[in-house]
A and B are shown apart, each in its own frame.
Chain A
């Protein structure tokens, strides 16, 4: 594993994303930590395809068991964002926590999927099932 991004780099990227995507207000605290998905690692090594397979997954970047996480938060606020980045600093995902009481403009699930389609062409592969509530 080569960890080529340091914590300052991923925190800078998290800042940029927060501002570009208006995920939080302008003032916040942030903290970075390096995480290992131990559960996944143990599974692959014990019941998956072994230690070599785990190394192949790391090298092929199909999945990143090692990640940088950046938490962006404020004291006395439920609202916060956590980003994950690869060891090289590539954006992998995020999660924004909202208070349950916060109102929002509701949109139907189907419209969301249409939106996904526009962004990711997912509908090409989307198995429309009658079990799914649209």
Chain B
């Protein structure tokens, strides 16, 4: 064979036996050979350790170590996973119809009519989250070269990837914005005793004992969750014999990114904030408002508490776990508790807890890897996880003393704008900062266009998805059904081998 150096790439296969050999004549006249070697002394289950060696013409072109897994496993595995997919699909349907169209859509409609909707703060957060996601996806371009089709020009490929990152960031920002607008708006109406979400990090409320304790509680709860999940998996795997793939929460590919802390940070922030707005605030605050209307608040809250935890678990049921309902059971108690925390203290502690929990798990590979320079990414990930705490510590230090939460800091202190105030205060309000404008007199500066624009983008995106997705199957349309095929086969066999048993006679 050509190149002695390359022959050195051949593995030591002294413990292997040749089990398969094939060769193929290529169109250029070159003959390619593939030799498959198998270890006969050890195997795992019915799977065999193998090495495939390829020679193209006179070149060694392949050394591939793999495990030959029994063919039937894939079918059995897919069958097993179909229950996960079904549960997850039901969860998604509930999310889209009940939370999305009814919870978010209807509440925004009514809040728009009553002119009590706050959009500036969620817009800023949406921009932050969308931008982070955009840059995080940009960092993954370095990894996407792995699946790059070389027939495409490099510039075209980069443009495609940048556009995909942009569209991802934009969609996530729009979905977050709408969910946060609705979640916070419902929360403001349902829970007058909660500290107003968008004031949590203000120079005043941010320096209060209440915000500090909510923040610290969020961190503690995240670590309780990590402990609970660890305990749950131990019990379910060791006592009930349930199955969850090892390390299925960790994506080691984070390690191959230029800024490996950015993707976990962006995804944790997006998931923590968005999911708590949509899956806690919308159903629970919605239940309070409906229950209040029907004079059965307690009953509605109790039902909503369990319902939101089940839906949230169902949405996560597509993970490879068995039994398929494992995640619903796993998430039931923690997310009922999340619901109770939200009902008592508002969105801040649950958002922080969810964010910290996610970033701890997603950034785990950074702490598994030991390589020069990795400490920079570890430290950055820790700092990012501590940002909520650092902000309130900063607010407290700046204030010099604990701030006492006042009535206007609470949801009950929100003042519904009056129509006649619109023109009278416009010039004066121009001088105020955006934050002050929205917090102190949201009415005069109220604008419906960002919400309407976001709704239009969402509808257009959904329409684009429906129009552009090739829902039809790639395989040709079947002209005959199963029974017809068996009849044809029977008829052929009868003609060819008269007297042979019919295929239909077989079970």
Q: Which positions in A face B, CB cutoff 8 Å? A: 1-7, 9, 17, 20-23, 29, 31-34, 36-49, 51, 53-55, 57, 62-64, 66, 69, 71, 73-78, 80, 84, 91-107, 109, 112-113, 115-116, 119-122, 124-127, 132-133
Contacts and interface: CB of A to CB of B under 8 A. Distances in A.
Given A100-B26, A102-B30, A42 B45 contact: no
Given A109-B23, A125-B16, A95 B61 contact: yes
Nearest to B141: A31
Contacts of B74: 39
* Interface SS majority for chain A: mixed
B69 A40 contact: yes
Contacts of A63: 49, 65, 67
Nearest to A126: B18
Nearest to A81: B61
Interface string B15-48: 1111001010011111101010100001011110
B148 interface: yes
B73 interface: yes
Contact of A121 (B14, B31, B58): B14
Given A33-B143, A120-B12, A106 B45 contact: no
B151 interface: yes
A119 B28 contact: no
Nearest to A29: B145
Given A3-B368, A21-B5, A80-B150, A93 B65 contact: yes
Given A34-B255, A95-B54, A101-B28, A48 B64 contact: no
A77 B12 contact: no
A100 B18 contact: no
B256 A76 contact: no
B125 to A, nearest CB: 32
Given A101-B27, A120-B14, A125-B17, A93 B150 contact: no
B7 A132 contact: no
Nearest to A96: B61
B27 A7 contact: no
Interface stretch (B274-282, B369-377, B418-426, B427-435): B369-377
B62 A33 contact: no
A46 B10 CA distance: 32
Nearest to A93: B63
Contacts of B148: 31, 73
A81 B56 CA distance: 13
A119 B7 contact: yes
Given A4-B370, A115-B1, A122-B37, A133 B57 contact: no
B58 A109 contact: no
Contacts of B27: 100-101
A5 B12 contact: no
6 contacts: A3-B368, A3-B369, A6-B371, A7-B256, A21-B9, A95-B62
B42 A62 contact: yes
Nearest to A43: B69
Nearest to A79: B150
Of A32, A33, A40, A54, chain B has the most CB atoms within 10 Å of the CB of A33
List 6 tightest A-B contacts by C-beta distance, closest first: A104-B57, A6-B371, A48-B45, A104-B30, A31-B145, A96-B61
Contacts of A51: 237, 246
Nearest to A3: B369
A59 B13 CA distance: 20
Contact of B35 (A33, A107, A112): A112
A18 to B, nearest CB: 11
A31 B142 contact: yes
B23 to A, nearest CB: 6
A127 to B, nearest CB: 6
Contacts of A122: 13-14, 16, 18, 37
Contacts of B42: 62
A132 B76 CA distance: 33
Contacts of B75: none
Contacts of B73: 43, 47
Given A95-B54, A104-B30, A57 B14 contact: no
B162 interface: no
A132 to B, nearest CB: 5
